[in-house]
Structure formats: structure tokens, C-alpha cells
Structure 1
């Protein structure tokens, strides 16, 4: 089900998108290093690899939904050969406080598993492209890193890739989610979303992250509270252009980050 609303230009989102624009960093050699790991071919014929980011002590980088103080990563695979579908598995991230703002990401190292479906199973897969990302310590800055690597079909099991895959969030079923609903209410600048997720605690302080499913839209960091078996998260979704937008509940993604584990919930019913 889609809900259509009108909205005015959102100054806060405009600032956020300007900060997130890919820019090549200058004079920051050695802050972060990218290399490609090989994991061989899977039983279904796909290639398993990973982008490994190694950061200097004290530096952090960001998750796909980086929070209020982060820069979202972007990938350009256009220089690659024999690449059909690309599937990325994000390990569960950490939550950081930066000058009173919340960011979501990783410190020290990030191993990002990538599964590649080749266009032609009989040919090798060559990954070539760029990754735009943000890194942060005392200041937050954008970086652009290139990669150029032919995947090794005969490579054995890679422990680093296996460990990163094991750190993925639980699915809704694994997290014992029995219900997820979203109530949508128009606001002056966009739309308020109230998500209610019935599930056992993920441990300690739980933080919900809401992704609208449309890269043109931005969701504020939700206020998250638990009432018994139900986790309630409220956020505002806005469009920087100020144009009306459709919000499809089936595309909304809710990730619950807890002390014990994370839970990835795709889609929600009407609330």
C-alpha cells in the first residue's frame, strides 16, 4: 500500500545530502585502506568476496544508514567485467555518539561480504570500481577508494568473510518478530512514521533504524521505546526537493540494534 503526501523543502535534509556528496579526500593517505578478499565459488555458482576496510586507530566508518552524523557509503561497479547481480551483506553495526549526535558504523576494520552472480558462469569475474565512504575521528571526512581485482574461483573458505557473514543481523523470523506495523501521518515537512514491532528484546538499550526504501527520502533518527513485548519507534521522513512522495510500506526496512544481536525487518503492515 502506498501513501501520497505533499511536503515543503527540508533544510536539514539538504544539509545532510550536501555533506554526503562523494568528494575525493586530500592529504589523508593511510587513514583507511581497501583491499578485496577472495572466498571462492559457492555451491550455486556465485562468487564470494569481500571489501575489507582497515582504518587507523581511532577512526570509524559508516553503515548503509549512518545516522545523524555520518556519510552513507556508495559503490560504483561500472568498470567491472562479467558481473550480473551484486549482493552485499552488512555485518551488524555499532552505535556511536559524536558531539551529541548519533552515528552508526564500524571502527578499526570492516569486512563487507559481496556475492557476485556472473553474467557468464564460464568466465572469470573482474571487480573494478570505486567506493565513496565517510571516515571519522575528531572530524568527519569523505574518502574515495578504488579497487581492481580478478576474483579467484578456486579460493578456499576465507575465515574473515565467514566471520563477517556470521555477524549479520537476524532475519525477522530468527529474531522471533511476530508483527511489524507502520502508522503514517502527514506532517508540515513530510510524514511521521510510527513503527510497532512485536518481538523479544534484542538485549540492553535497543535502537531502531528506519529506512524508507527510496534513496531520495531521508528518515530522522527514531525515538525508540519498549512497552512489554512491543518496540515502538517514531521518525519523520522528508524529501529534500519538497515534492510529494509515495511511501510503500513493503519497502520500509526496520533494523533493531541491541546489545545481544540485531534484527532486520523488511516491510510492515498498516498500523
Structure 2
């Protein structure tokens, strides 16, 4: 699986070490992982979820973790009959962490996953590892293994249904009228000024910009509201440090508000 809009691995580690709570060893497991069954859909796909249960007060990170943190990474290499994999991320929370903002989940994350089998007549086995960062007073990396054969006959799972209901609104559902991205070269990469015309998502809104290319990283945007338009400014740099092109159709903007979150895919020229 590729995770868009995240720091390169080395930069992530340095960010966690230097900017977040201290990295330390913690005695005893603070996080557990199990796979939930949601049965087979009308389209022939399998619905499941990765449930991450943390000890009280601990948190883990969203796919774009903010100023400091490690996004979840999956290795599916031991799986059988797995074709396409699609996640539905529940809307995350924003945490203040030593003056920095991190984005993620506290106490529990139920991450719905939809699997398209390579062969519809054969069972689907999910086997691999999940790497993630978890934080409280200290931050530690965790690697959790899983091995589960999904049940095609499983009924509706309330935990999966609740997680799906917590997904961000689509642009249409949130009544987004227009989204544009103005791109300006900088000494290190490219500045994005995203302008989203939409009703308020409630309270202080925070925008997250993901470039849509795993080799690119976008800085946490400065976000402000100007009337009916939310303006978010971020800088995108390449992992290699070289020149790159940005495809506006792949840019993903998530607005996190006190009332709801909004997931916007693509933007026009600004």
C-alpha cells in the first residue's frame, strides 16, 4: 500500500525524535491488533477492518500524521488471493504535542478495509505486518503481525459500520462549491495555495494537503478562513530533492473541523 503526503522514512524518524515526545522503551505491550470480519459485499468484495486497541491515553497516527509522527504502513506479502486493497479512514482528531500538531486517534482505531479477491471462488487470507507509531508521554514504534482468513458469510459488524459512518464528508456532501490550487515554484520545491469555497466545518478548521505522489511531502498548511473560502498554504518538496511536477487531479485536501471533516479529491488551476 502506498501512503501519500508523508515524510520520507528518515525525516519521519528525525521528526519523531527531535520534535515529539522522547522515544523510549516501554515495558509491556501498549497496543494490540486484530482483524474484524464484515462479510462479502454485493460487488463481490470482502469487507473487514484492522482494529488497533491502545492502552488508555495512548494514540496512534492518521495516514498524514501532521508535524510529528509515523503513519501506519502495511506489508501484505504473506497474504493469499488479495487483489486491490482500499481503506476508508475515519475522520481523525488533532492533538497538540509539545507545541506541534499531530493528527490521529486515541485509545482505538478501527480502519475499514475492502479487499477485491484475485479469484472470487477462493478464500481471502490477510497475513502480514502493520508498522505504526504510538505516543503518550513517550513515543515508540510498534510492529504488529496479523494472520486472518476473512469470512464471506460474516454478518454486519457494528464496529465496522460505526467506523464507516465516521468517514469525512465528500465534497458534494459538504457543499463544496469550488476548489482551486495555485502552484508557485520555491527554492526547495513548490508552494500550493489551495482555496476551498465551502460552509464552515465548525470551530477552528485545519486543512491537510496530500500531493498524491508517495515521493513528495507537503508541509502542514497554514489555514485561514476568508469569508466563505478556506485558504490553505503549504510547500511540497521531493524526497530526492530534484525537480518534479504536480498533478492537480491527484492532490487531496482534507478539512478537519469541530463539526465534521471533508475529503476533497483534486483541484482546478488557481
2:12 to 11, 14, 17: 17
**Where does residue 79 of structure 2 map in the other structure?**
80
Aligned pair 1:90/2:85, yes or no? no
State whether residues 14 and 240 of structure 1, in contact with CA within 8 Å, keep that contact through their aligned partners in structure 2. no
Name the residue aligned to 2:21: none
Match for residue 179 of structure 1? 178
2:188 and 2:9 map into 1 onto residues whose CA distance is 13
Q: 1:185 Cα deviation (Å)?
A: 0.7
Aligned-residue offset at 1:255? 0.2
> Alpha-carbon deviation of 1:240?
3.2
Deviation at 1:18, TM superposition (A): 3.8
Q: Any residues of structure 2 matched to 1:80-119 within 5 Å, and which? A: 80-119=79-118
Cα gap change, 1:14 to 1:123, in 2 (>3 Å): closer
Larger RCO (CA under 8 A, 6+ residues apart): 1
Change in 2 beyond 3 A, CA 1:199/1:53: same
Give matches, 1:51-200, under 5 Å: 51-200=50-199
What's the offset of the Cα at 1:43?
1.1
Distance, in Å, in 2 between the alignment partners of 1:184 and 1:50 is 37
Q: 1:240/1:117 Cα in 2 relative to 1: closer, same or farther (>3 Å)?
A: closer
Q: 1:234 deviation in Å?
A: 0.4
State the superposition RMSD in angstroms. Answer: 1.7
Unaligned runs of 5+ in 2: 1-6, 17-23
Tell me the residue number matched to 1:225: 224
The question of whether the paired residues in 1 share the 8 Å contact of 2:33 and 2:144 is answered with yes
1:127-150, CA deviations, whole angstroms, 9 ceiling, x for partnerless residues? 001111110111222111110000
1:46 maps to what in 2?
45
CA distance in 2, matches of 1:175, 1:70: 28
Report if the CA contact (8 A) 1:19-1:71 is conserved. Answer: no
TM-score with structure 2 setting the length: 0.91
Structure 1 runs of 4+ aligned residues shifted over 6 Å read none
Which structure 1 segments of 5+ residues have no match? 1-11
Take 2:50 and 2:8, find their aligned partners in 1: how far apart are those partners?
29
Give the SS at the match of 1:69.
coil
Whole-angstrom CA distance in 1 between matches of 2:155 and 2:8:
45
